[in-house]
Structure 1
Amino acid sequence: MSKIPVYFMPGLAASALIFERIKLPEDVFEIQLLEWEIPLNKESLDEYAKRMSGKIKHENPVLIGVSFGGILVQEMAKHLNARKVIIISSVKSNLEFPRRMKVAKATKAYKLIPMNLILNLENLAKFSFGEKMNYRIKLYEKFLSVRDIGYLEWAVEKVIMWDRTEVDPDVIHIHGSLDDVFPIKYIKDCIVVEGGTHVMILNKYRWFNAHLPSIILGEKAQVDK
């Protein structure tokens, strides 16, 4: 039996190293890690998603995305025949955005964010991983790989301006109860990881290793929430 290809997409500015502790049974799954590309001039999110879809070398892949990566894999699924789309610490539509993000969209306040200051590692960590990020600088250096101002400006705008309002009912959503970037109170129809924060892919990896196989194989009802 051929293995199930599982493609992982990290969050905003993050490296695929965030998945280094994720282990799936090697006799069933084949893990593939995706990395962010620098966007082309005036590239739309759909165009970017189509370009990233070209990196998928298997038919019927499972796409798993974290945070902004979760948004991206949903857009990539438009261009692929995906077996399953799973998002972690993310949103299924802009209706699940917290109020501050909706205000930022309405006022275009995101354009005032000083990206050159965000490129400071500690600020970038807070921006990408949430205010409660307690990892030390060496971990920021390890997990945050994209420090390009053009990418950050593009990525922030594409998140804030994401225009999806209709949820794909087939998307499986895994979300932490303590997520401070996308608070759980705005999230509907998800598998809740109790105590999980926005960076639970790093510190709740045991939960994912225990449950992702059954979720991918369609045994969602058996997941211990």
Structure 2
Amino acid sequence: MSKKHIYMISGMGADERVFRRLTFPEGYDVHYLPWINPLGNDEPIGEYAARLARRILHPNPVLLGLSFGGMMSIEIAKQLPVEKVIIVSSVKHKQELPPYYNGMARMLLRNLPDRLLFGNRQHIVRLFMQSGSEEEVQLLKDYMQKKDFRYMRWALATVLSWENEWVPPSMVHIHGSSDRPFPRRYVKPTHTIVKGGHFMVMNRAPEISRIIERELA
């Protein structure tokens, strides 16, 4: 039997290490799609997704996206056939974005200088990511050492202004009941991890892995 393929997209500015505690069913090869630089501050998410999708080398893959990577997985699924889309700690369409991700937030993002927007972000990131173990804290420290603020501004603006209304027919949405960036009261996932936070891909990995295995069986 020929192998199937899973392509993973991490959260905003993160890398493949956030997925390292997940396990996958036999018969699947796992690949990671790293983030690429946007073409300018206003590149539409659909055009960015099309460029990212060129790195997918196998037909009809499973897409697994975390947080902003979940939104990107949906945008890629608009442009090429996929077996299934699995999103974790993410949203499916614009109605699931919190109401405070609005025009005022976009205006602040546009007008705040880098030193104010990113200067003290460690406090906000730790609050939202709900990290616990030393391994998780170290990953966040590595993330916060990145200075590619151009990408971060583009990604934040893209999340705040996401206008998607299309949901893939083969959608699996795994969400934590205690998620802070995308509070559970605004989303309707297919699977809820009780007391799971935004970093549950690491600290609740066995439960998420079991859901993925059932969905891909």
- Scaled to the shorter chain, the TM-score interval is 0.7 to 0.9
3-state SS in 2 of match to 1:2: coil
> In structure 1, how many angstroms separate the alpha carbons of the residues matched to 2:47 and 2:204?
33
Counterpart AA for 2:13 = A
> In structure 1, how many angstroms separate the alpha carbons of the residues matched to 2:133 and 2:47?
34
Aligned length: 214
Aligned-residue sequence identity (percent) comes to 32
Matched, 1:12 2:12: yes
Contact 1:129 1:199 in 2 (8 A): no
The two structures have a TM-score, normalised by structure 1, of: 0.85
> In structure 1, how many angstroms separate the alpha carbons of the residues matched to 2:129 and 2:143?
16
Q: Could you list the per-position Cα deviations for residues 36-55 of structure 1 after superposition, in whole angstroms to 9, with x for gaps in the alignment?
A: 11111242211110000001
Task: Name the counterpart of 2:188.
Answer: 188
3-state SS in 2 of match to 1:64: strand
Matches within 5 A, 1:33-182: 33-41=32-40, 42-102=42-102, 104=104, 108-117=107-116, 119=118, 123-124=121-122, 126-127=124-125, 130=128, 132-134=130-132, 138-142=138-142, 146-182=146-182
3-state SS in 1 of match to 2:85: strand
Name the CA shift for 1:143/1:214 in 2 (closer, same or farther; >3 Å): farther
Mean Cα deviation higher: 42-51 or 144-153: 144-153
Contact 1:15 1:146 in 2 (8 A): no
Contact 1:118 1:124 in 2 (8 A): no
Task: Please report how far the alpha carbon of residue 169 of structure 1 lies from its aligned counterpart in structure 2 after TM superposition.
Answer: 4.2
The two structures have a TM-score, normalised by structure 2, of: 0.87
Structure 2: which 5+ residue stretches go unaligned? none
Contact 1:9 1:34 in 2 (8 A): yes
3-state SS in 1 of match to 2:196: coil
Q: Could you list the per-position Cα deviations for residues 132-181 of structure 1 after superposition, in whole angstroms to 9, with x for gaps in the alignment?
A: 34456533234568530110110011111111134344321110011011
3-state SS in 2 of match to 1:130: helix
Task: Please report how far the alpha carbon of residue 101 of structure 1 lies from its aligned counterpart in structure 2 after TM superposition.
Answer: 0.8
3-state SS in 2 of match to 1:99: coil
> In structure 1, how many angstroms separate the alpha carbons of the residues matched to 2:140 and 2:150?
20
> In structure 1, how many angstroms separate the alpha carbons of the residues matched to 2:63 and 2:89?
14
